[in-house]
Structure 1
Amino acid sequence: MAFKALLFVAVAVAAFAYTSATECYLCNSQIVPGCAKEQGKRSNSFDCASQTPLTGLKYNCLKTVYEIGGYEHVQRNCIEKNVTCGTLRKQFKAQGVDLKECLVCGKKLCNGQ
């Protein structure tokens, strides 16, 4: 069950991350334990526009803190501008994932705190 929920989280975020001219931190604490800490100059960042330069889609940065199987995880990524934390909460809840925190922001590297 935990793997299925984790897979959903990865797919849900990736589905919204087909990614504008916003640079965001990009990490998952299940892969990079330091992702749970505040990000800085040496942290992995990503120009969201580079994923889909031909679509013209606009993007924000995203930080989510969620719980699966009693373990808390942090994920930082790009997300399409029309997606809100409310949308994500509903999707996470439908998969049995507890979304503890959600931040959507539109400035460079704003998902680092």
Structure 2
Amino acid sequence: SVFLAVNATKCFDCVTKEPRRDKCVQPQDPKTSDYFDCGQLTPVSGDKYVCGRLEYQRDGRTMVTRACLIEITCEALEKISQIELTNCTICDTDFCNGA
């Protein structure tokens, strides 16, 4: 029989809304922070989903996005999004985008 590899990496999932009091900027905790099981996403042409933590500036404020992403380099992500990332982490283990 054939077994399909199941990508079920769990990633923290949040976007900065109000930088001064924002929980997404703070280190995350699996017990209290929102997360998403990337296995719920349908891969496009065999793409693998990984976790990402992206940091960028908007109006002089630090913004953070944590999410499941298609496996891609930070450089390619910056080019596609047209946002200058001040910090970028791509990783592939559960909750690895929590720091």
| Structure 2 match to 1:37 | 26
Q: Any conservation in 2 of the 1:21–1:58 contact (CA below 8 Å)? A: no
- TM-score (ref. length: structure 2): 0.79
Counterpart AA for 2:78: R
Tell me the C-alpha RMSD between the 2 structures. Answer: 2.2
Larger Rg: 2
- TM-score (ref. length: structure 1): 0.70
CA 90–43 in structure 1, closer or farther in 2 if over 3 Å, else same: same
Counterpart pick for 1:69 among 59, 63, 71: 59
Q: Any conservation in 1 of the 2:56–2:84 contact (CA below 8 Å)? A: yes
Residue ranges of structure 1 left out of the alignment (5+ in a row): 1-19
Residue ranges of structure 2 left out of the alignment (5+ in a row): 1-6
| Structure 2 match to 1:105 | 91
Q: Any conservation in 2 of the 1:65–1:74 contact (CA below 8 Å)? A: yes
CA 90–30 in structure 1, closer or farther in 2 if over 3 Å, else same: same
Counterpart AA for 2:85: L
What is the CA–CA distance in structure 2 between the aligned matches of 1:35 and 1:54, rounded to whole Å? 28
What is the CA–CA distance in structure 2 between the aligned matches of 1:39 and 1:71, rounded to whole Å? 20
How many residues are paired up? 90
* Runs of 4+ with >6 A deviation: none
- The structural deviation recorded for 1:51 is 2.4
- The structural deviation recorded for 1:91 is 3.1
- Identical positions, percent: 37
Q: Any conservation in 2 of the 1:68–1:98 contact (CA below 8 Å)? A: no
What is the CA–CA distance in structure 1 between the aligned matches of 2:63 and 2:44, rounded to whole Å? 32
